[in-house]
Amino acid sequence: MQRRIRTILLSVLAVVLAMITPTANAEVEHPRQQWLRASTAGLFLHWGMFTAPKHLDCAEWERDVTGGGWSPDYWVDEARELGASYIVLATFHSRLGYAKPWPSAIPGSCSTKRDLLGELVRAGKAKDVEVILYMTDDPQWHSEQGKQMLDSAAYSAHKGQQVDLTTRRGFGMYSYDLFFEVMRNYSDLAGFWIDNDNEYWEQNKLYEQVRQLRPSWLLSNNNEDTPIMDTVSNEQKTGMTPSYDYPQAAWTPMPRLVEADYKLPTTGDWWYDGKDHPVDFRLSTGRYITNAGSSMKSLMAETPMVNGKFPPSQERYNDFMAGWVPPIRDSLHGTEGGGYMYGGMQPGFWNDGAHGVITVKPGAKTQYIHAVTRPSTNMLRLRDNGYWVTGVTNARTGERLKFNQSGGYLTILDIRDWDAYDTVFKVDTPVQSGYYKDVSATATSTRQGFPAGNLTDGDYETYWDADDKLPVSVTLDLKQREHATHLAVNQREWSPTYARVSFGRPEDSARIKDYKVSISDDGVRWTQVKAGAMPSARGTRFIDIGQQNTRYVKLDVLNTWGGPQAPRHFGELQIDEIKVGHGYPLSPWARTPLEAENAGLNGGARPQICWACSGSAQVAGLGGGARNSVTYKNVTAATAGDYKLELTATSAQATSLAVTVNGGAPIDVPLPADRADVPANTSIPVPLNAGANTIVLHSNDVRGPGVDRIAIATLPPASYTPTTTMTVTPHGVQWIGPDRQAIKVTAKLRLDVDDPITGVELKPTAPAGWTVQGSPATVQTLRLGQVLTGEWTLTAPAQVQAVSAPVTASLRILGRGKQVTTDVDVKPRPADRVFMREAEDSANEFGSTGLTSCGQCSGGEKVRNIGGSPDALVRFDDVTVRTTGQYKLHIDFTVNGPRSFFVSVNGGQPTEVKVDGAGNNTPYATSLPVALNAGANSITFANDQAAAPDLDRISLSVE
């Protein structure tokens, strides 16, 4: 759909409508968007005939709306309590009865005599709240409640031609007319919020005409980035860590206007179902803040009852927001997300479990740090991105706080007044420095129109594209030999930060994983100075390279985080800007606790300058045993118990650090080879007494590591399991028959976070009667981005039953044992079938299609988004039969309305398979004869021109 829309718009806009509408690219920023760009949030109202108690008669519903005391001012006032600048009214909604809340001259579905829409628009205008009208493209739920809600006969009489409103084209014609009725009658409306597209609209250039007739109105499109639209709305993203960090699942880079569209009630439907569902204050406020910290608008869905009032839980949340937002209003309104194209410090995970975002006022010398999850200590430490800080104030209390800067970090100290949901610090940052301005860039690969020069032009709207080629090198020329300390990398924010499936579309991170940095004076002879893995995270990423004097700095990107299951993001790389730093702000006025150079130094232990370290110093000379040590004599803990000890150390070669707590036995902590002038963190669990404790560090190696600092924090909860990605193939139910008794199983475990894990073992468990060939895969330590791989053969007994073979990764994190498990499901193939495979099986080729859950389908999954473009296909390779001949191909699918597969065998002429059905969660079956060769064959399901049904599985029987 997205590719088709782009093709239509680009050709039509360039040739036919060049005189009446701007080009597609120009829609990214336009003066009509200014009010929305300045806002923080909107209120999404799903409210219609099927709001509980549902009505099947339009007049009865309107009577109860009016009789219940519906008031537009109530909605507007509740929106203002939420800090919302606009309301989206979703009443002409496919699941709510297709009701038009205005007197309509166009018959076809429910229309009120009272002008509810007009009243709401006028009430909003009086209180500076804009109103946007939701419009659906979807007729499939026309009789969901057992009564036909679309009146084709009435609309046909109105049009003077036969029109079936239950078809997409007929409904497209009807809703197209409604757009124009609304545009004629409601000049003060702010625009349309459109739930996907209808081909009739596209063919008749609806959006271009909206632009011509109502140039000040906004257009928003759900779950697609359609160029002519002002806003991309991302619907109900979940599954991220922390759960409130909605932007992790977004895929649209600034300055595109982006909405985060989510429910405030944490259970139930999008509309009122008769229950008072709870609102999770922590989740909802966290989303509100993190969206603002990514320049995304929070479109919060509430569920008004028939009379318009909100259930008590939602009213309580709105009342809470009315008091909670105003003290930090300046940090949210008229601000942009920090750490991206508008400048600012680094958002994301900070020290001791803290997490948050930055907001900035463009052009101002002020930033706001939002600590949404507070650290377990009373200080906050984050990358300062070269901003010199002159003052830090608690935005809610006005208290001025102590702070220091060194090694590229701002540390705010002695924080006592933490808000339950968002502690906001106003930070004065008069200048950003420490980066070279006159740097040129070249690269080994460049997509035409996206040159390497875009990396250093200072313009975040231009970017470099690696043209689907990895590994790739970027060389930065400082023009002469200069001092270099670090790189600041802003990657294109066009993908989520982790693998996921959204509306059947596979997505993954297109960010840098493994990299190397080298330096050279002549651009020919290179010396590697850094290697590692970059976290898959939003915002500016930093690579510290120590103290270098060089002319050229080369970044080699070896791979990215995305996997092949998401071809749109796999092997792709786009970068907005790369800066070369030559130093860090230094403000040592307040001392950071537990710095090594301020502890007791014994034997040969001595302070040493380390510009990338906290306090710009570390302690060296710890090798040779316990006589050379650092002693911390007053490490305090509130209560006795186990704590997390974070060791920040430098190590030019693989070494270890011995840790002694209160005179106990030394704990040996291995440290990997890295740099002697760039610190890295390693954490272990340690027992502490209530009150003061003594911690001693030394090394038994001849040349021990350097120690920068230590930190003490509470252990994460016992439920904490570090984020990993475990990929097990085969995926999908495996159908075992007499000709297939063995299954080759491969598993890969990747660590996706900074916390290293130890004692890692990866192995399958054989079901009863099965055998496993192959040994467990093991590794002592797994660090960020590293992968452990294992391979085994599972062999079934003669009599196969339905079983699951679990593949388990066992690991330890901070002394705790954890497991991650994925099952390989096996079932006996029916006796009348000679072949059977799930559509979602990892043996298939998916093109640009994606997997989605389907409770009624075989294996609980299916493949959707087949058709509409040549690459939107599913190809079954290695479809093996014993003899050449005619077979019957059985196809299990789901579909809503008439659609077609085009089925091709071994690359031959496609055969159209027309099917029909009602409901995308109801499996259907059909079949067709096919000619197959003995041995391996391929069978492809596609539809180059239009959307095809969703595919559940295929099987073969002998004709």
How far is C-alpha 178 from the geometric centre of its chain's CA atoms? 35
Stretches in the chain below the pLDDT threshold 50: 1-26
- pLDDT of the residue at 581: 98
pLDDT tens digit sequence for 340-350: 999 999 999 99
* Closest residue by Cα to residue 534 from 488, 568, 496: 488
Distances (CA, A) of 626 to 478, 622, 699, 710, 773: 45, 8, 7, 18, 47
The tokens describing 631, both together, are: 């002693």
- pLDDT of the residue at 644: 96
Contacting residues for 146 by C-beta, under 8 A, at least 6 apart: none
- pLDDT of the residue at 13: 32
The tokens describing 419, both together, are: 């808000």
- pLDDT of the residue at 852: 87
Using omega within 30 degrees of 0 as the cis cutoff, is the peptide bond preceding 471 cis? Answer: yes
For residue 616, report the phi and psi dihedrals to the nearest 5 degrees. Answer: 60, 25
How many helices (H) and strands (E) would you count in the chain?
Answer: 11, 57
H-helix segments, 506-593: none
Write down all domains in the chain, each with its CATH number in brackets.
39-324 (3.20.20.80), 336-432 (2.60.40.1180), 440-581 (2.60.120.260), 596-714 (2.60.120.260), 724-828 (2.60.40.10), 835-958 (2.60.120.260)
- pLDDT of the residue at 18: 31
Distances (CA, A) of 92 to 118, 194, 272, 394, 921: 15, 11, 15, 45, 23
Rounded Cα distance between 848 and 568, Å, is 7
- pLDDT of the residue at 741: 87
Contacting residues for 7 by C-beta, under 8 A, at least 6 apart: none
Distances (CA, A) of 694 to 369, 646, 666, 757, 959: 34, 15, 13, 26, 80
Query: How many residues can be counted in the chain?
Result: 959
Q: DSSP string of 569-602? A: TTT--EEEEEEEE-----BTTSPPTTBGGGSEEE
pLDDT tens digit sequence for 483-542: 999 999 999 999 999 998 887 788 999 999 999 999 999 999 999 999 999 999 999 999
Rounded Cα distance between 251 and 542, Å, is 21
- pLDDT of the residue at 9: 34
* Closest residue by Cα to residue 541 from 497, 478, 586, 592: 497
Strand-strand pairing, 257-263 and 231-235: parallel
Distances (CA, A) of 804 to 100, 731, 735, 766, 767: 51, 12, 12, 9, 7
Count other C-beta atoms under 10 Å from residue 351's C-beta. 18
Strand-strand pairing, 440-443 and 541-557: unpaired
3-class secondary-structure state, position 659: strand
* Closest residue by Cα to residue 277 from 322, 312, 234, 323: 312
- pLDDT of the residue at 765: 96
